[in-house]
Amino acid sequence: MIKATAVDKRFEDLQAVSNLTLHVQRGSIYGLLGSNGAGKTTLLKMLAGIYKQDQGKITINNQPIYEVPDTKQRVLFIPDQPYFLHQTSLNNMAAFYEQVYTHWNSNRFKQITDHFKMDPNKKLNRMSKGMQRQASFILSLSTMPEVMILDEPFDGLDPVVRQQMKNLILQDVADRGLTLLVSSHNLREMEDFCDYVGIMHKGTLLFERDMDELKTDIHKLQIAFRVVPDKSFLDGLNVLHYEKRGSVLLCIVKGSVGEISDYVESYNPAIFDLLPLTLEEIFIYELGGVGYEIRNLIVE
């Protein structure tokens, strides 16, 4: 559905994106994570056809996004700061969108506007940040897009509206095969919302994985021994991070549960707990592997 291959983007002396390859499947929800300054927003704008890549190839449905207006018709980008024409109301913006987007659905616009009890004649610049965010979603969903690309999309929304917006998106994913690419710093929210996740760092994509597979491939171990083995014990594990707390060894390791358990049990531990990690913990320890600062997230 969405393919980026060996993509580069430079702004003067800043290499924002470097040799990046990414794949998003049709009808999936893909979460793009990354450290500050990783290049996420630049990548999203290239995928939406707002920026043109310097090198590489970006396609949606096998069509170049930047060069093909018909492809852009089916892609909606919601930036982290909503933008509207000067001194316009929601109705004014709806009339503008109707002229631009051939698949505009007036009935859906009215339905969603009524659902959120939005005043369509109120000037958007007089609305709160959360109300402006709602307006962006209403307009975008009313274009009946095939692809939505969202940058910090739920920032400023109260919890009830946030969940209602997610439900509308999920309904479109289920009913129409909508494809969603979303960037957010709220990793707890992404963990519950996304099917796939990619992690960026310094303009490159470290990896992209199915969310369920990712969470079954990295684990937290708490181990204590009656007779402490020598340091070669750790050589048999794919360790991302470890530390000693009294008699307890705490490790973050990659691998299958079965192989890890068999290996540790062969050393006859007095205590052995194998625990799942949250997406936030996975994010931090994966970035720690490329030199990013690791915070201690292991609960005592």
40: tokens are: 């996420």
Confirm if 259 and 218 have CB atoms less than 8 A apart: no
Q: Render pLDDT for 21-34 as a digit per residue (tens, 0 to 9).
A: 999 999 999 999 98
CA distance 178 to 72: 15
Quote the longest CA-to-CA distance of the chain.
75
- 3-class DSSP assignment, residue 276: strand
CA distance 218 to 254: 4
Task: For residues 252-256, give the mean pLDDT.
Answer: 92
Alpha carbon separation from 168 to 2, 96, 125 (Å, rounded):
22, 23, 25
Confirm if 196 and 209 have CB atoms less than 8 A apart: yes
Task: For residues 114-140, give the mean pLDDT.
Answer: 95
Confirm if 241 and 293 have CB atoms less than 8 A apart: no
- 3-class DSSP assignment, residue 58: strand
**Least confident stretch, 259-268, 269-278, 280-289:** 280-289
287: tokens are: 């970035």
Domains present along the chain, CATH in parentheses: 2-202 (3.40.50.300), 214-296 (3.30.70)
CA distance 224 to 128: 54
State the pLDDT at residue 293. 47
**Least confident stretch, 117-126, 177-186, 288-297:** 288-297
Per-residue pLDDT for 132 more than 60? yes
Task: For residues 248-268, give the mean pLDDT.
Answer: 93
146: amino acid identity, one letter: E
State the pLDDT at residue 291. 53
Q: Render pLDDT for 152-199 as a digit per residue (tens, 0 to 9).
A: 999 889 999 999 999 999 999 999 999 999 998 888 889 989 999 999
- Stretch (H or E) spanning 98: helix 90-100
110: tokens are: 């009215």
Confirm if 57 and 7 have CB atoms less than 8 A apart: yes
State the pLDDT at residue 95. 97
- 3-class DSSP assignment, residue 48: coil
Task: For residues 251-278, give the mean pLDDT.
Answer: 93
Q: Which of 209, 181, 215 is nearest to 43 (CA)?
A: 181
More confidently predicted of 246 and 111: 111
CA distance 260 to 103: 52
Q: Which of 190, 186, 246, 201 is nearest to 222 (CA)?
A: 246
56: tokens are: 């590489």
As a whole-number percent, the residues of the chain with pLDDT over 70 amount to 96
Per-residue pLDDT for 36 more than 90? no
State the pLDDT at residue 281. 87
pLDDT range class, residue 213, cuts 50, 70, 90: confident
State the pLDDT at residue 228. 83
CA distance 260 to 257: 5
pLDDT range class, residue 289, cuts 50, 70, 90: low
Strand partners, 251: 221, 242
Q: Render pLDDT for 55-88 as a digit per residue (tens, 0 to 9).
A: 999 999 999 999 998 999 999 999 988 889 999 9
Average pLDDT, whole number, for the chain? 91
CA distance 297 to 172: 36
As a whole-number percent, the residues of the chain with pLDDT over 90 amount to 73
CA distance 151 to 281: 22
